[in-house]
Amino acid sequence: MTVSAPTPSNPGLRLPDPVTLFCCLAPPEYYRRPLFSEREVFCGPDCPTVETGDGFASLNTPPGEYDLTAVVARLPAHQRPELIVVKADATRRNLPRGLDRLPGTKVLLVGDTHHFAAPLRTLLAYGAMEDFDAVMLDHTRQHAYLFLEAGFERVYWVPAVDYALRRRDIPPAPDRPLTFVGQIGAFHPWRRHVLERLSAAGLPLLGMRAEPERAADVYAASQVTLNVSLNGDLNLRVFEALGAGGFLVTDALSPDAGLERCFTPGRHLATYRSPDELVELVRHYLDHPDEAMAIRRAGQAHLLAFHSPQVKRAQFFAAVFDDRVDPALEVRGERRGLAPLPARSIGFRRRLAAYEALQRLQLTASRLTVHAAGQDETGGGFAADLRAMARDLPRVVFADPDAGSEPVALPMPLPLPPSADRVRDDAVTLLPWPDRAETDRRMARLPGASVLCPTLSSRDHAEAAAHLAGWGFVPTEPGGILFQCADALRYAGRSLSAPALAAELAPELRHARLAALEPMLRTAEQLIGVARLAARFGETSLTERFLLRAVGLDRQQPDALAGLARLCVAGGR
């Protein structure tokens, strides 16, 4: 392997320069060049096939799984890789196979594990199938311990290892008050919620999409640059904005995410913990531009000194080739006291699935409360493990059964599933399956929209799924342990028709549950059935309203007409 020349920013620094094949998730122009080596070839589903005079600059591959040996066979001898870096995520768009048949050092660069379907299970399974010498995470440090738990020995974290620095001079008087550059689409409900809160507060927020070079200009020209992580991740915008000389206000992440290992809040950037705190913070710095200017200068200087692309390359090669890690970047000593489980066991997989479910629900929750009282009596420490895993989810809290009782239920008469269009307080309940009686009791009193049913076998799962289907709940993925309501009418009927369950419901909740059904009732038969439930609980006005609607749909309904007649007689009408 050759060694590159000293870098311009560090004349004494000499880095390895291996022939590198980078299997990537974006077009080559998205990345800085050189990324890992002066002698690198890009390949992936978004890469065009580009030939040069003596080989290839990039090669197109099929999306999904593909044979990497066939890709390497197309390269001339002098481009056969000494280092292969694969960036993969749960989209499953870039999963090269056959690495064990190729020489050289192989590195799995872990992409997004903080959203998408089954992100950690997907990456852990893929990593176990291929012959990787090392695993590296860049913006989801909080998940490094899971790779260690799964049996990977060489796990590293180099934040923003593949970002491109676009440095700008800091203007003396930035002319844009408050900007956000980035996506606010279907994947970003929390981000959209935060931005809407700023606009509602009357702050001069300008949101936009921009190509990287244009984005750097905007960061430099803004008095305040806003960042909202997608789901608790240390995203590239932190490094890109600071590198461009922006004054960055970003959400505070969990200590496990590593933000404060890289930058000091109040010195290099500013952080907020809630939308309301963000509103006040932005107002403060718009009114105190001198404070913002001092922070942005310190932030850019710190990034250039400690997080430049040259530093990232040096950290990458030190870890991969020499197993040397800056103490601030070390992750291998971190454990969360989880019960030891074999990586291929159903217990390990269900634990991952439960964490991924909380991570997914956090996307649409301003606060997600996990109700797990009594779970460990039947679950063998499952709730305790899940609590330890969820400590990196900043909007997830666990109800504390030791406080005497769980928090008051949320005012949600029907467990309507979360929506990406609206962020709300929510809750999820762990079910103590196979205890059917207690499962039914908790189902009748759900404080939120979702339940977790962590079964121990496929047979248990089939039985639990059939039982929960009777409540109108279905799994969110085949064989999954997260269940959400698909039939609110069935749910309400089950909870109100069983006397023992209905007796535990507060009268106000019974009334709200019945009233919430009205917009969902489409047939005269449905309306008559719910009217009978309302009559059982003495809800005279609701009973009459349902019967009147039933008659309006079908004037020949004898049950509806007779019910209305009885109500009129009882009321002297």
Residues 368/397, Cβ–Cβ less than 8 Å: yes
Render pLDDT for 308-346 as a digit per residue (tens, 0 to 9). Answer: 999 999 999 999 999 999 999 999 988 899 999 999 999
pLDDT (tens digit per residue) in 118-148: 999 999 999 999 989 999 999 999 999 999 9
Write out pLDDT tens, residues 355-400. 999 999 999 999 999 999 766 654 458 999 999 999 999 999 999 6
pLDDT of residue 12: 53
Per-residue confidence band for 6, with pLDDT thresholds at 50, 70 and 90: very low
Supply the pLDDT for residue 291.
98
Q: Is 507 in a helix, a strand, or coil?
A: helix
Contact 429, 446 (CB under 8 A): yes
Instruction: Indicate if the pLDDT at residue 36 is higher than 70.
Output: yes
Given a cut of 90, is residue 10 above it in pLDDT? no
pLDDT score, position 5: 43
Residue 215 binned pLDDT confidence (cut-offs 50, 70, 90):
very high
pLDDT at 406 over 60: no
Check whether 504 has a pLDDT greater than 50: yes
Give residue 4's pLDDT band: very low, low, confident or very high (50, 70, 90).
low
- Which of the following CATH numbers is that of domain 176-307: 3.90.1150.10, 3.10.129.10, 3.40.50.2000, 3.40.190.10? 3.40.50.2000
N-term to C-term CA, the chain: 97
- Report helix, strand or coil for 434: coil
Q: Is the pLDDT of residue 402 over 70?
A: no
Mean pLDDT across the chain, nearest whole number?
92
Place of tokens 């634990």: 351
Asked whether 131 and 99 are in contact (CB, 8 A), the reply is yes
Residue 307's pLDDT band, with cuts at 50, 70 and 90, is: very high
pTM to 2 decimals?
A: 0.92
In which order are the strands placed within the sheet that holds 20-23? 50-52, 55-60, 40-44, 20-23, 83-88, 105-110, 134-137, 155-157
pLDDT at 420: 78
Question: What confidence category does residue 77 fall into, taking pLDDT thresholds of 50, 70 and 90?
Answer: very high
Share of the chain above pLDDT 90, in %: 83
CATH 3.40.50 fits 20-157, yes or no: yes
CB atoms within 10 A of CB 326: 15
pLDDT value, residue 526: 92
pLDDT score recorded for residue 549: 93
547/538 Cα distance (integer angstroms):
14
Q: Which of the 8 DSSP states describes residue 444?
A: H
Please state whether beta strands 482-485 and 450-452 pair in parallel, antiparallel, or not at all (unpaired).
antiparallel
Beta bridge partners of 56: 51
Share of the chain above pLDDT 70, in %: 94
